[in-house]
Amino acid sequence: MTANKQTVQKFMEAVSKSHHADVLACLTDDVEWVIPDVSHTQGKADFAKQNTNEGIVSCTITVTRLTEENNVVIAEGRVQISRTDGGLLNTAFCDVFVMQDAKIKHLTAYLMEIKR
């Protein structure tokens, strides 16, 4: 597995375990995180604020495909989030990671809620 894919895998594991320091260790200082039409975050400090997991009890991320070409890693899969209010959120995702020196420089996250 390439260094870029290893970083993305570590990132996903850290997010699912709410290990914020490990999440930040996977990022460049000037990281950019975009969820189209929802949010745009620039820099590690802003990323840390957005990634607080308020209202979340647990998060399970299942990656079904991890593809890389030219310092771009694409991860596809599903996320199941259990919330403190007892609710459950199921989403499908496709995350596009632009990498620099085996760190995440830019993340575009495409999310779709799955209603059963």
| Coil, helix or strand at residue 109 | strand
Domain 3-113: which topology?
Nuclear Transport Factor 2; Chain: A, (3.10.450)
Sequence ranges of the domains in the chain: 3-113
pLDDT, greater one: 45 or 71: 71
pTM for this entry? 0.91
H helix runs in 1-116, sequence order: 3-16, 20-25, 44-50
Average pLDDT over the chain, rounded to whole? 91
Nearby residues of 59 by Cβ (< 8 Å), 6 or more positions away: 15, 16, 18, 53, 79, 80, 81, 82
> pLDDT tens digits for 15-58?
988 888 999 999 999 999 999 998 899 999 888 877 666 667 77
